[in-house]
Amino acid sequence: MESSLFQYVSFVPLLIALCISWLVSLIVRSLINAYRFSVLIRQLPQGPRPLPIVGNALSFKGKFDYILRLLQVDWPRDYGEIYCVYMGPICCVSISSPELLESILKSQKLLDKGETYKFFSPWLGDGLLLSTGAKWKMRRRLLTPAFHFQILNSFIDVFNNESQILCDLLDKRIGNEDEISELNIYPFIANCTLDIMCETSMGVSVNAQSRTSDYVTALYRIIQILMERFSKPWLAVDVIFHFTQQGREHRHLLTTLHSFTRNVIKQRRHSLEKDPTQFIDDGDIKPKGNRRALLDLLLAFEADDNNTGLSDQDIQEEIDTFMFEGHDTTTSAISWFLYCMATNPECQEKVWTELRDVFGESDRPCCQQDLTSLIYLERCVKEAMRMYSPVPHIERHVKEDFKIGDYLIPSGYDIILLLYGLHHNPRLYPNPWEYNPERFLPDQIEGHHPYSYIPFSAGPRNCIGQRFALMEIKIVVSTFLRRFRVSSSPMATEPIPSMQGVLKPLNGITLQVSHRRFHV
């Protein structure tokens, strides 16, 4: 026994020596990596001088419009198309050059989203927006057929129906034909696109345009809370956030959103098992013709040698992701487009002339053939999405050293792809603050860099629903402008663009709206 104790006692100094050696080695490696990172970062073009600990965060003043203007307009003008900015102690590389963006977006190595996307994880899980690696590739492969043009064409009746409901509601608000009403158009468009997304992604109607539901309320509120986490650094710390009022409310909202989606999935699965030809609507089983919601397509994925199928949790993640991505982005695009029409009446009249040429004095729904004929309208939509990019920026996380152009980005850092800054780059767009649809004439875009206009991103992680979004936008705005004329209000303040996940107006978009008459 004494011998065993002696051996144990003699082993303790060796163990302590090994621990000290490991700790010293860890510290040395950390210092070497920190020095290496600092050398590599100093070789990159520097942006505004950061302060200790807080970096450049104080410059933003916690305001979303300041973040947009400084990050995407002022600092690219002052520091160039690539520069370093510090979000607290974390260095991010900001880029608004199409040449550099191309090498990033085309890369198969830079597929991971930036660190700030983690705020969406409790809500969206590991869906297509946030997943990475083999899981993302598998999900992307499975979901791509859901956006085949034949399936998209089956949604046209939804786009038309909800657009008509929107116009009918505005009819009631405006009143007589000769009256002009001042309206904040943004919430009307938001409810319309939300109804469209619920119908097309889940096959259910929440009737957001005509009533309030817990799901709709929770959807709007959770996005507000997520944006608060971006603007208030202390809320970015999970431990602090969980004990705040916003954290407690966030957990309650997640329960509401996930319960609604899970219930729809459960009902839909049960319905399809009973009769695969039936479609669900408001909890009741009703036929929906040949149209199939995204949920039906997800439920139809069966296990085979290359696919293990999707669980209810997997399906919920994808449905929640499409509800978030598909609703907010199209709301932004449509609302800012109408603002561009109001502030550029000559363009609005050209759109009106084209609509009359295509539809005559008919109030019939828009069809696929009509969409291909609305050439000038499409140019106007593209120019609006250039000036007011629905997604103002994208982030990528660098997992291994990555060389772009003459620069080496060290692993562990985030890259901010400034799409709003790209679309206002004067090197690419002369007079970038002027609304000019003629920029998208065929002879004008010939020779442009292919990555100079990317409102839906580009490369392997581009927006899977971009054709869906463009169809929706064109049908909603063409239906709207056949019924109404919009003009800027002399009494209302100009909308203030702000970076809130998508490009939102801080103060709404207040326009004068009046009835259109077919006769001149």
Q: Which of 32-36, 252-256, 317-321, 387-391 has the lowest mean pLDDT?
A: 32-36
Query: What mean pLDDT value characterizes the chain?
Result: 85
> pTM of the prediction?
0.88
Find where tokens 């996380």 sit.
397
Residue 212 lies in a domain: yes
Is the model's pLDDT at 29 over the cut of 70? no
In the predicted model, is pLDDT for residue 280 greater than 50? no
Query: From CA 331, how far away is CA 385, in angstroms rounded?
Result: 12
Q: Own/partner pairs for 276-280, CB < 8 Å, 24+ apart?
A: 279/203, 280/203, 280/204
Report the pLDDT value the prediction gives residue 76, as an integer from 0 to 100. 96
Residue 166 lies inside a defined structural domain of this protein? yes
Contact indicator for 440, 379 with CB cutoff of 8 Å: yes
Residue at 346 is within a domain = yes
Q: Which pLDDT belongs to residue 457?
A: 94
Identify the CA nearest to 197 among candidates 214, 213, 216.
216
pLDDT tens per residue across span 345-395: 999 999 999 999 999 988 899 999 999 999 999 999 999 999 999 999 999
- pLDDT, position 305: 43
Q: Which domain holds residue 93?
A: 28-515
**pLDDT at 106 exceeding the cut of 90:** yes
CATH number of the domain enclosing 157: 1.10.630.10
SS3 307: strand
Alpha-carbon distance of 268 to 284, in angstroms, equals 10
Q: Quick count: other Cβ atoms within 10 Å of Cβ 411?
A: 13
Distance CA(437)–CA(425), nearest Å, equals: 17
The residue-averaged pLDDT of 12-41 equals: 59
AA identity, residue 87:
M
The per-residue b/e assignment along 338-364, b for 16 or more CB within 10 angstroms, e otherwise, is bbbbbebeebbebbbebbeebbeeeee
Distances (CA, A) of 514 to 82, 176, 182, 370: 45, 9, 9, 24
Asked which of 17-21, 254-258, 275-279, 489-493 is least confident by mean pLDDT, the reply is 275-279
What does the alpha-carbon distance between residue 465 and residue 242 come to, in Å, rounded to a whole number? 33
Strands 90-95 and 414-418 turn out to be parallel
Position 448 in a domain: yes
Q: Rounded to a whole number, what is the distance in angstroms from the first to the last CA of the chain?
A: 109
Give the mean pLDDT of 65-93: 90
User: How many angstroms from the chain centroid is the CA of residue 453?
Assistant: 16
Answer whether 337's CB lies under 8 Å from 380's CB: yes
How far is residue 138's CA from residue 148's CA, in Å, rounded to a whole number? Answer: 17
pLDDT confidence band for 206 (50 / 70 / 90) = confident
Residue pair 332/502 in contact by the 8 Å Cβ criterion: yes
- The reply to whether 13 falls in a domain is no
Rounded average pLDDT over 77-88: 90
CA angle at residue 219 from 251 to 513, to 5 degrees?
155
Supply 130's token pair: 């946030």
Residue 7 domain-assigned?
no
How far is the C-alpha of 461 from the C-alpha of 463, rounded, in Å?
7
> What are the pLDDT digits (tens) for 223-259?
888 888 877 778 888 889 999 999 999 999 999 999 9
What average pLDDT does the segment 492-505 reach? 91
Q: Is residue 9 part of a domain?
A: no
| 18-22, 29-33, 80-84: the lowest-pLDDT one | 29-33
Domain count, the chain: 1
Residue 333 inside a domain? The answer is yes
The reported pLDDT for the residue numbered 415 is 93
> Is the confidence at residue 193, as pLDDT, over 90?
yes
pLDDT band for position 297 (50/70/90)?
confident
How much is the pLDDT for 519? 40
Phi and psi at 288, nearest 5°, equal -125, 35
Report the pLDDT value the prediction gives residue 43, as an integer from 0 to 100: 75
